[in-house]
Structure 1
């Protein structure tokens, strides 16, 4: 594969259990050969491998910053796996996803985070908002919080909508330095009163060495053919984007603080 993926386990998908929800990406609960259930994200879904790259990078960067993230694994899907699936749409998805996919350990019994029921303290809310500004994560809104309460602790899930620069790759250096205007819709923004403190705490943890170690986890086969460059060159763009974004964190912190002033 050309990179060291030793920190991410690889499992073999043995059983398709049930779709997780309706939607373009059609994630599913699936069982693997280690006996565990996983939330499986398919490379053959609408956004293809880019959603898996965003999921992997977003999740592992969040983990490096100390957030609770379900274990992320590579999920190998055999060519014959979908032949007995009666649903044609799911069968097509499975056929298009042969090879390496991504899965998160399924947190059985977890409840969707509801800000009306559970109030987060300003420190945690600010750190999550900072993370999502860094990752340009458009998918942590009141409509879809992408956070779970499991054993009375908050877990972050679903980072596939992060790093949206990679859907066009246009002016990615410019994108890296920009604020994150979509933060105005972030479900936790009203409670994120300590963004400057979050910036001072989290920014120094994402050193170039940490960022590059995580970027190296992305498999070659997910990067092959992207923008007509080699997988190694594609990884370099991701690494530089993230390094530049951390260095320019003042821009997105100021933007988030301004957005918060307008709603509190």
Structure 2
């Protein structure tokens, strides 16, 4: 069983906004002396984007991908008072409490498939992961991968698990193909999907999903009237992931079909 824990840090300094992100994350410094990319619970998609980031990032880590350390980042209410930019001030005020942050990879560059080659196994592994997570946000336009010290790192899983923005027919959604995989930046090189499917199905265990989902702060689950209790809310995430993994042949076939059309 994997031991999954997240540290909690206190944000001490807002450094600069990253305006290329739709939810306007920021580089911030914490009381441990490190810089982080801070994802705000008060941003457009709310806590659900943080939940997707947490679940996606930690599943990726279990599968052996390089993912920046995720931490809970506590934001004090005093931060919104001195910020001159009104938009940022509102965002800070709406994000008081626990947020999510990724360790800032200083000097990292955005992955460009026309410059950097990715071998077929790694490409297949990343495509499989994004099919599992229904992550629509790893395209040529926005690869959400970084090169840091000549190694490939995965970032930004906030757009994954998009079913949870409505929870409509979520149990059926778990068994559906992921049609948006046709736009995946690494799909042309993903020639080893069947081998990766066997490998990753043997690594991921139900207890991993339970452990990761148990990390979600209660306050991120508030305001969703689909479930009577937070326990039921968490169980739905676990059930979705377990069902999706058990029916991986469905998204596997769709990815292979999309690749055949592409090439």
**Residue of structure 2 equivalent to 1:170:** 168
1:15 to 13, 16, 20: 13
**Residue of structure 2 equivalent to 1:216:** 214
Aligned length, in residue pairs: 260
Q: Answer yes or no: is 1:123 the counterpart of 2:144.
A: no
1:78-89 equivalences under 5 Å are 78-89=76-87
**Residue of structure 1 equivalent to 2:177:** 179
Structure 2: gaps (5+ residues): none
- Structure 2 CA distance for aligned equivalents of residues 257 and 235 of structure 1: 32
Q: Summarize deviations over 1:55-102 as a string: whole Å, max 9, x none.
A: 000000000100000000000000111211110000000000000000
TM-score of the pair, normalised by structure 1: 0.97
TM-score of the pair, normalised by structure 2: 0.97
Q: Answer yes or no: is 1:39 the counterpart of 2:37.
A: yes
Note if contact 1:224-1:230 (Cα within 8 Å) is conserved in structure 2: no
1:244 deviates by 0.2
- Structure 2 CA distance for aligned equivalents of residues 120 and 55 of structure 1: 23
- SS at structure 1 position matched to 2:107: coil
Note if contact 1:113-1:149 (Cα within 8 Å) is conserved in structure 2: yes
Note if contact 1:184-1:259 (Cα within 8 Å) is conserved in structure 2: yes
- Structure 2 CA distance for aligned equivalents of residues 19 and 169 of structure 1: 31
1:158 to 156, 159, 178: 156
1:1-264 equivalences under 5 Å are 7-226=5-224, 227-264=226-263
Question: Which has the larger displacement, 249-258 or 228-237?
Answer: 228-237
1:6 deviates by 7.5
Q: Summarize deviations over 1:22-78 as a string: whole Å, max 9, x none.
A: 443010000000110000000000000000000000000000100000000000000
List structure 1 segments (4+ residues) > 3 angstroms apart after TM superposition.
Answer: none
- Structure 2 CA distance for aligned equivalents of residues 90 and 203 of structure 1: 42
Task: Tell me the C-alpha RMSD between the 2 structures.
Answer: 1.1
Structure 1: gaps (5+ residues): none
Question: Which has the larger displacement, 112-121 or 219-228?
Answer: 219-228
